[in-house]
Amino acid sequence: MTGKVYLVGSGPGGTGLLTQRAAEIIHMADVIFYDQLPGEEILSSLPKKAEKIDCGKYGGSHTLEQHEIESLMVDRAQKDLTVVRLKGGDPFLFGRGGEEIETLRAAGIDIGMVPGVTSALAVPASVGIPVTHRKYASQVTILTGHEDPTKTRPALDWKLLAQGRGTIVILMGVANLKKIARALIANGKSGKTPVAVIERGLRKDRRVTTGPLATIGDMAAQAGVKPPAVIVIGDVVRLYDPTRADLIPYEGE
């Protein structure tokens, strides 16, 4: 007998943007592999009957390494259990869902996919920034900010990114924000390009720091910006209006 593993996206935070399908699968689970990214509201609602395995990363320390997580998922599924790998946002957007599918397929495990709302879209939207707009941007590029643009062989083409006319959305980029800004400017992006750094996007304590690309790194440092944050680079940021009181977080509405 072999169980099934569901890769479930929990959305950008709070139960309000957790899909109905995700909630159904979570409450069917015998085992839930989770980290801190879904947020306390979702984690506190996990079914008591399920075995819960913490896979979080805290201050650079990994509770479990990726290969250990995958091995445990295979083990539980082979015991005829329903397994949920619960991830923040969407499982396939910087969530290592692709790696987990490869391992599960190799072990002959059935897999279910439950997409989630990604913070790359939801967080800018929550403050009134559309990532595309007919006047400002007809394309959007989503990057991981873990990529250090100063390394010898970066995986990203900074020249192509700098010369593009669309919106750039960066996840997990606070630590490298200054380096990213310098790389974009060095490759042709205007230092006047507007940038928004949105901390804790769907929580009541959300904060938005805006400024030009040339100085946003220093501005964020002076403001004490900390993860989690979504960075939006491009002319769509001009639509952000900090005076709009109707733009409220989803969490706790």
Residues in a beta bridge with 61: 58
- Catalytic: 35? yes
**Sole residue written with tokens 């979702």:** 42
113 is catalytic: no
Choice among 4, 30, 172, 219 that is catalytic = 172
- Examine the residue annotation and report whether 1 is marked as an active-site residue of this protein: no
Helices (H) and strands (E) in the chain, counts: 8, 12
What is the amino acid identity at position 191? G
What the block records as the tokens of 37 is 């990214």
Write the burial class of residue 78 (CB in 10 Å: 0-12 exposed, 13-18 middle, 19+ buried).
middle
User: Which residue among 28, 54, 57, 226 is the active-site one?
Assistant: 57
Residue 11 DSSP one-character state: B
CB-based contacts of 249, cutoff 8 Å, min separation 6: 14, 126, 201, 202, 203, 204, 206
CB 164 within 8 A of CB 139: yes
Q: Are 159 and 241 in contact (CB under 8 A)?
A: no
Catalytic residues: 35, 57, 172
